[in-house]
Structure 1
Amino acid sequence: MFPHPRARLVVAGEPEGLGGDELVHRITRTADALARLRPGPLFCGMRSNLASVLRYLAAWQSGRPIALLDPDLSAGALAALAGRFKPAALLGFTHAADGSPPARRDAPDPHPDLAVLLATSGSTGNPKLVRLSRQAVLANAAAIASALSLVPDEIAPTSLPLHYSYGLSVLNSHLVAGASVMLTEAGLLERSFWTHLDAHRCTSLAAVPYQYEMLRRLRFDRAEHPALTTFTQAGGRLSPELVTEFAGQCDRFYVMYGQTEATARIAVLPPDRLADKPGSAGVAIPGGRLSIDEGEVVFHGPNVMMGYAETAADLARGDDLGGVLRTGDLGWLDADGFLHITGRSKRIAKIFGVRINLDDVERLLRDSGPVAATSGDDRVTVWAEGLDAAGCAGLARRLGAELRLHWSGFDVRGIDRLPLLATGKVDYRALESQA
């Protein structure tokens, strides 16, 4: 059953949690409200608050697909997505009133297995939506709960956005395990986050690499948070030094690897293997299997997406992939089946855990002269012809503003001329060698 009868939602700062019959009642009441909307998928601005989570669970109960999106999407980006996917309603967005968008002209009915839609590329470009079935969501939640040994006494804060697959998986895995989730819209750098984490005796913390870097700068001391026993990390590669540092600050530290296209997590490195498998992404989650095909990591499992969607018509399609996901990541498996990631075959980077399409970055800056974008550890390097230091700083801040990420995630460098291949295309390998 999802959520488990023992699962609870705890609103930060409120003394009583919501669980059992009362949670079921609130979900059912929200489902009744959704039933008054016209048929079709829902677009939900997914905040880390009770209203958003109840909408999500009510849509699940109703068998109605729901797209969980950044609630602060610009009016233009939201309108473009709505135009392509023709949702029945827009709910919870900053730049759009709750209600129905223009009529769903000739939009087909979504496939009955379709449950959740997530964007592939954060706030860049024209994102495709990942089509996740009910089976995929439940299978991944159960696998994560098993791999992390979650029990009903656990309580996790919403330290990551719930429209991000990693953040959503924290919610799902705890609800499946009969555990609790503390809902807070405060970030890790806000005092109120830690006040509520301690007040509600949260037992775990999920974070991406840049958050661990911030915690180190803030001189995080686990002794100040005695209930906190478990850390998890995904969303990019965390340096070995930080893995060692934070593993020493908790009872259990899990390094994980995943993709939205696999609902969330694909592999988990158990805490007792950190020492003898440094740098590994771990072994496949329960029920899954990893293989390598010509250097590319391939995942096999019930949590693989049905496929991508670019228009409303795609929402009617069934399963395109049959449980097999070519990840686009390069890597190898050691003799014990532990995965080691060595790079990416696609032009996708991650900044602060958010996927960024490097081609989209270049398109955004096309009016600034010749530029090229390459990826590094948790940042994007932009090479711009003829720019001085002030011009580079300006481009970094522009990218941060347009993509709604901190400007420090963009390392903009001036270059006299971009290196070119004989074909006239940018020689990205030459640029990467200079990074």
Structure 2
Amino acid sequence: MFPHPQARLVVAGEPHGLSGDELAPRVARGVETMSRLRPGPVFCGMRNNLASVLRYLAAWGARRPVALLDPDLAPGALADLVARFRPAAVFGFAHAPDGVPPARRDTPEPHPDLAVLLATSGSTGNPKLVRLSRAAVAANAEAIAAALAIGPGDVAPTSLPLHYSYGLSVLNSHLAAGGTVVLTEAGLLERSFWTHLGLHRCTSLAAVPYQYEMLRRLRFDQSEHPALTTLTQAGGRLAPDRVAEFAAKAERFFVMYGQTEATARIAVLPPERLHDKLGSAGVAIPGGRLEIDGGEVVYHGPNVMMGYAETAADLARGDDLGGVLRTGDLGELDGEGFLRITGRVKRIAKVFGVRVNLDDVERLVRDCGAVAATSGDDRVTVWAEGLAADRCAALARRLGAELRLHWSGFDVRGVERLPLLATGKVDYRELEART
């Protein structure tokens, strides 16, 4: 049952939360509102607050497809999405559109299995939406709850945006398992976040690699938060030495791998295997299966999306993928089924006719701090955070020597800060636009 009868929502700083008999009528009122709308999806600017979560649960209860989107979308981007998907209603955006377009007679109603729509990670311009079925959302929530042993005593803060698949999966897995979610819009650098983490005795914290670097700069000390026993990481590769460092600061540290197209998470590395599988992304979540086809990671499971959508007409389509997702990641499976990600199928550049893996370039110079690599015309551009101009040429020569290519194939640029998406991942498209 979703949400579980024991599931609880708490607004950070407030002494009491909503659960059971208190939560159900609030959701029921939202279901009634959703049911009065014309057919079609609803758009929700998904903030880490109670109003947004209640709208999400109301849409779920009304079997109404809901697009969970960045609440601060630029007016033009939101207007484009509204024009293409013709939602029945739009809620919670900082820049609300002037009404919604009427339904077109030739647009079929959304497929009855469709539950959630999420923007692909890093989407800009005219993003596709990922179509997630009710079964996929429920299956992933239950699989993660099982893999992480989440139960009614577990308490998690909203440390990630809820319109981001990893953040949403934290909410879903705790609601499915009867746990508690503390709703806060404060970030890790804000004192109030840590005050409320302690006040509500949060037991776990989810973060992406960039946030772990923030925690390192904050000199995170688990002893200052005795209830916090579990740390989880997804949203990109965290260097093995960082994994080991933070694993020593928590009773349980889970490394995870996933994609929005799989309703968030695909693989989990159990804490007890960290010591001998450091650098691995883990094994497939319960109910899933991994294989390697031509070097590409392929995932089979009930949490795979129905497919993409670019217009309202696409929402009527059924399941296009049949539970099989070609991830676009390159990887290897060992004899025990543990996955190691080695790069991206499309993260390949050519320098003087030689194929260069951009992920390998980043790993080679990670000792310089935060770096990102993008492809250009017969060269690789390396963006290094805080790197002085007089060191750029030296780094280019070093890369040339490491990869046995002429150093002029590497354009190294120092930047004050790497641009980041709301998920904490590097915004490669923004960097590419600068070249």
- TM-score above 0.5, yes or no: yes
* Distance verdict in 2 for CA 1:407–1:294, change over 3 Å: closer
Residue identity in the other structure for 1:42: V
Residue identity in the other structure for 1:66: V
Identify the residue that residue 154 of structure 2 maps to in structure 1: 154
1:157-180 Cα shifts (integer Å, max 9, x gaps): 000000000000000000000010
Please give the residue correspondences for 1:259-408 in structure 2 after superposition, counting only pairs within 5 Å.
259-347=259-347, 376=362, 380-382=372-374, 400=419
Please give the residue correspondences for 1:168-179 in structure 2 after superposition, counting only pairs within 5 Å.
168-179=168-179
Deviation of 1:299 (Å): 0.5
* Distance verdict in 2 for CA 1:88–1:340, change over 3 Å: same
Asked if the contact 1:159/1:188 (under 8 Å) is kept, the reply is yes
1: CA distance, partners of 2:139 / 2:413: 45
Deviation of 1:262 (Å): 0.5
Identify the residue that residue 165 of structure 1 maps to in structure 2: 165
Residue identity in the other structure for 2:102: A
Deviation of 1:396 (Å): 5.8
Matched, 1:67 2:67: yes
Asked if the contact 1:374/1:382 (under 8 Å) is kept, the reply is yes
Identify the residue that residue 365 of structure 1 maps to in structure 2: none
Identify the residue that residue 25 of structure 2 maps to in structure 1: 25
1: CA distance, partners of 2:426 / 2:148: 32
1:6-60 Cα shifts (integer Å, max 9, x gaps): 0000100100010001100000011112223222101100000000000000000
2: CA distance, partners of 1:22 / 1:412: 47
SS of the residue corresponding to residue 57 of structure 2 reads: helix
Moved more, 118-127 or 308-317: 118-127
Identify the residue that residue 396 of structure 2 maps to in structure 1: none
SS of the residue corresponding to residue 102 of structure 1 reads: coil
Moved more, 31-40 or 301-310: 31-40
2: CA distance, partners of 1:394 / 1:335: 41
* Distance verdict in 2 for CA 1:79–1:317, change over 3 Å: same
1: CA distance, partners of 2:110 / 2:423: 33
Asked if the contact 1:396/1:408 (under 8 Å) is kept, the reply is no
* Distance verdict in 2 for CA 1:197–1:121, change over 3 Å: same
Identify the residue that residue 10 of structure 1 maps to in structure 2: 10
Deviation of 1:374 (Å): 5.4
Residue identity in the other structure for 1:345: V
2: CA distance, partners of 1:324 / 1:397: 41
Deviation of 1:196 (Å): 0.4
Please give the residue correspondences for 1:243-254 in structure 2 after superposition, counting only pairs within 5 Å.
243-254=243-254
* Distance verdict in 2 for CA 1:379–1:108, change over 3 Å: farther
* Cα RMSD (Å): 3.0
Identify the residue that residue 102 of structure 1 maps to in structure 2: 101
Deviation of 1:405 (Å): 8.6
Give the percent of matched residue pairs that are identical in Structure 1 and Structure 2: 71
Asked if the contact 2:210/2:425 (under 8 Å) is kept, the reply is no
Identify the residue that residue 141 of structure 2 maps to in structure 1: 141
Moved over 6 A (4+): 392-395, 403-413
2: CA distance, partners of 1:182 / 1:398: 30
2: CA distance, partners of 1:317 / 1:383: 35
Size of the alignment, in residue pairs? 389
2: CA distance, partners of 1:306 / 1:312: 15
Identify the residue that residue 393 of structure 2 maps to in structure 1: none
Identify the residue that residue 50 of structure 1 maps to in structure 2: 50
SS of the residue corresponding to residue 115 of structure 1 reads: strand
Deviation of 1:408 (Å): 8.3
Residue identity in the other structure for 1:331: G
Unaligned runs of 5+ in 2: 350-356, 364-369, 382-387, 391-410
* Distance verdict in 2 for CA 1:18–1:237, change over 3 Å: same
* Distance verdict in 2 for CA 1:396–1:112, change over 3 Å: farther
* Distance verdict in 2 for CA 1:408–1:337, change over 3 Å: closer
2: CA distance, partners of 1:398 / 1:156: 29
Asked if the contact 1:266/1:288 (under 8 Å) is kept, the reply is yes
Identify the residue that residue 363 of structure 1 maps to in structure 2: none
1:308-331 Cα shifts (integer Å, max 9, x gaps): 111111100000000011111111
